[in-house]
């Protein structure tokens, strides 16, 4: 049967095929078939003799030959011996003494199972031919002086394939000139190690030895939105339903815990009924830890109220953008997803969400996308009041939502959390105060070192620019 090799994956398709059955590439109107099994089937013995007497050298394949999956797959080769034989015979006939295979003549870079699971390795392919990545192919590998790329060529090829910007068609990349030439602005990157070490040492030193001032100073700076967020929580009635979207996990807990804990503590003080869920796998466990800390820091009788189960664990809600609108139209169907913690009485409370909606929604997020997703896909459906507790870096991205009124409050960053703690009107423990002061000292030292580094870098840049 005549076949036509796919220009992308090299698979031998039937000549009448419009698309490659291996990768789906359009092959209608391609070149005539490169292999005809009918021709080779007439002389299989001759092909075997040729192969035994003169095994093809590594890479000695004709320019017409495309490394097909059929030839690389042992099962395929076994089931179609004539086809495999014909391919080898065609190769030897076409290239004669073995033309050198260049990158432009190389076969597909992605091969194997669908071309997806096996990463492309252009170097090994170019060096050793089509079967380089196929350990099951019984192909003798002979060293060839023409084909064996030395280490210098490997470096050049590696650099060529790692170029971010594509080389213009027909242009020859200047490999030699740019390999050895040092980058003019590369010194800064080489000094990055020392900058990181100095930053770490500076902040660790501030944590260990910096003598904090007496408490009661100016305190962390409160950005606009914090007061509104505090007021929203402070005006909640006892047993109000509050939906908490816990959108961070341990990866960002170092910062986000400082923002989330005071708000959760405030909600528990107000004896609100929290329904906590997360769309991150690590979210529920993180929420458990922070809520337990907030619960432990509460004074009685608020802690007694928590024993009446003020917190309902909604668990993990997968699906991302596809599932979150369900919380706006039918939250009782979306929550809870973990029946272990939820009894029948609480299920009725969750069902109330669908009727009246939550009294307040708190989005605790380390990424702006999570806040935006809630405001775009849930709030227009239930029209609820939303406050956000975010990472510091998220603040500029979500602040327009505060100005437009879609967010009723915004607390961001360590400074936002610190300012919120000061509004809780509770006596902070000595350990908590010490930790806060340590954090402030470390942050100040880190920022100071970074500013000095930026100034020195700019100074060095100006000096070097003026130097001929």
Choices 25-33, 91-99, 166-174, 389-397; region in contact with another protein by CB under 8 A: 389-397
Q: Whole-angstrom Cα distance, residue 310 to residue 265?
A: 12
Determine contact, residues 409/232, Cβ cutoff 8 Å: yes
71-79, 89-97, 145-153, 419-427 -> range binding another protein (CB under 8 A): 71-79
Does 75 bind another protein (CB under 8 A)? Our answer is: yes
Question: For another protein, which is the closer residue by CB, 54 or 251?
Answer: 251
Choose between 2 and 207: whose C-beta lies nearer to another protein: 207
By the 10 Å C-beta count (0-12 exposed, 13-18 middle, 19+ buried), 11 is classed as buried
* Near another protein in 406-435, by CB under 8 A: 406, 412-415, 435
DSSP 39-61: HHTT-HHHHHHHHHHSPPPTT--
Q: Interface mask (CB under 8 A) for another protein, residues 284-323, using x and -?
A: x--xxx-xx--x----------xx-xxx-x-xx-x-xxx-
CB of residue 215 vs another protein: minimum separation in angstroms?
18
Q: Candidates 67-75, 168-176, 209-217, 229-237 — which segment interacts with another protein by CB under 8 A?
A: 67-75
Among 34, 69, 133, 269, binds another protein (CB under 8 A): 69
Query: Six-digit token pair at 195?
Result: 């900058």
| Per-residue interface string for the shown chain with another protein, residues 185-204, x marking contact by CB under 8 A | --------x--xx-xx--xx
Q: How far apart are CA 311 and CA 282, in angstroms?
A: 18
**Minimum CB separation from another protein for residue 403, in Å?**
6
117-156 residues near another protein, rule: CB under 8 A: 117
Contacts of another protein in 340-379 (CB under 8 A): 340-341, 372-373, 375-377, 379
- Residue number, 179 or 200, with CB nearest to another protein: 200
Is 329 among the residues that bind another protein (CB under 8 A)?
no
Report the residue number, 60 or 374, with the smaller CB distance to another protein. 374
Is the distance from CB of 269 to CB of 298 less than 8 angstroms?
yes
Structure-token pair, residue 68? 């097909």
User: Which is closer to another protein, CB of 175 or CB of 330?
Assistant: 330
What distance lies between CA 233 and its chain's CA centroid?
34
The residue within the footprint of another protein, chosen from 103, 215, 281, 461 (CB under 8 A), is: 281
- Shortest reach from residue 468's CB to another protein, in Å: 27
Size of the site for another protein (CB under 8 A): 88
DSSP for 158-199, written as a single string: HHHHT-SSPPPTTPPP-HHHHHHSPPTTHHHHHTHHHHHHHH
Cα–Cα distance for residue pair 226/428, rounded to 1 Å:
20
Q: Are 10 and 111 in contact (CB under 8 A)?
A: yes
Establish if 380 lies at the interface with another protein (CB under 8 A).
yes
Distance separating alpha carbons of residues 447 and 294, to the nearest angstrom: 29
Distances (CA, A) of 6 to 10, 13, 44, 88: 4, 7, 25, 17
Residue nearer to another protein on the CB measure, 9 or 233: 9
Q: Which is nearer to another protein, 74 or 103 (CB)?
A: 74
Among 163, 348, 403, 458, binds another protein (CB under 8 A): 403
Contacts 24+ apart (CB under 8 A), 414-417: 414/220, 414/255, 414/258, 414/259, 414/439, 414/443, 415/220, 415/221, 415/222, 415/223, 416/220, 416/222, 416/223, 416/226, 416/259, 416/389, 416/392, 417/258, 417/259, 417/260, 417/261, 417/262, 417/389
Region of 25-33, 35-43, 110-118, 124-132 interacting with another protein (CB under 8 A) = 110-118
Site for another protein in 6-25 (CB under 8 A): 11, 13-14, 21-22
Instruction: Looking at residues 226 to 255 of the shown chain, list those that interact with another protein (rule: CB under 8 A).
Output: 252-255
């Amino acid at each position: 049967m005549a076949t036509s090799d796919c220009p992308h994956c090299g698979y031998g398709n039937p000549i009448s095929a419009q698309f490659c059955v291996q990768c789906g590439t359009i092959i209608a109107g391609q070149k005539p078939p490169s292999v005809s099994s009918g021709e080779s089937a007439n002389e299989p013995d001759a092909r075997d003799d040729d192969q035994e007497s003169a095994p093809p050298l590594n890479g000695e394949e004709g320019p017409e030959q495309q490394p097909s999956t059929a030839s690389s797959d042992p099962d395929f080769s076994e089931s179609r011996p004539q086809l495999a034989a014909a391919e080898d015979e065609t190769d030897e006939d076409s290239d004669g003494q073995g033309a050198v295979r260049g990158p432009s003549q190389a076969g597909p870079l992605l091969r194997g199972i669908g071309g997806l699971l096996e990463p492309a390795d252009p170097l090994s392919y170019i060096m050793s031919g089509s079967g380089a990545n196929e350990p099951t192919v019984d192909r003798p590998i002979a060293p060839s002086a023409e084909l064996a790329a030395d280490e210098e060529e490997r470096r050049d090829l590696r650099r060529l394939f790692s170029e971010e910007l594509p080389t213009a068609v027909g242009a020859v990349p200047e490999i030699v000139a740019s390999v050895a030439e040092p980058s003019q602005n590369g010194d800064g990157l080489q000094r990055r190690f020392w900058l990181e070490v100095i930053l770490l040492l500076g902040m660790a030193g501030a944590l260990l030895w910096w003598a904090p001032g007496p408490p009661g100073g100016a305190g962390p700076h409160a950005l606009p939105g914090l007061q509104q967020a505090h007021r929203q929580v402070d005006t909640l009635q006892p047993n109000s339903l509050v939906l908490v979207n816990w959108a961070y996990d341990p990866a960002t807990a170092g910062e986000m815990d400082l923002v989330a804990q005071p708000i959760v503590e405030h909600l528990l003080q107000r004896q609100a009924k929290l329904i906590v869920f997360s769309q991150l796998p690590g979210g529920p466990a993180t929420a458990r830890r922070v809520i337990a800390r907030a619960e432990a820091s509460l004074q009685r009788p608020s802690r007694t109220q928590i024993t009446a189960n003020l917190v309902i664990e909604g668990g993990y809600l997968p699906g991302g953008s596809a599932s979150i609108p369900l919380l706006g139209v039918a939250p009782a169907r979306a929550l809870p997803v973990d029946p272990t913690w939820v009894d029948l009485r609480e299920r009725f409370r969750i069902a109330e969400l669908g009727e009246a909606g939550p009294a307040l929604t708190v989005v605790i997020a380390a990424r702006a996308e999570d806040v935006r997703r809630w405001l775009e896909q849930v709030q227009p459906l239930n029209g609820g009041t939303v406050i956000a507790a975010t990472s510091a870096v998220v603040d500029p991205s979500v602040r327009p939502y505060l100005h437009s009124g879609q967010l009723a409050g915004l607390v961001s960053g360590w400074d936002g959390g610190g300012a919120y703690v000061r509004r809780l009107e509770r006596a902070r423990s000595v350990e908590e105060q010490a930790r806060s002061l340590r954090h402030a000292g470390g942050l100040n030292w880190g920022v100071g070192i970074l500013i000095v580094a930026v100034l020195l870098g700019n100074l060095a840049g100006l000096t070097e620019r003026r130097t001929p």
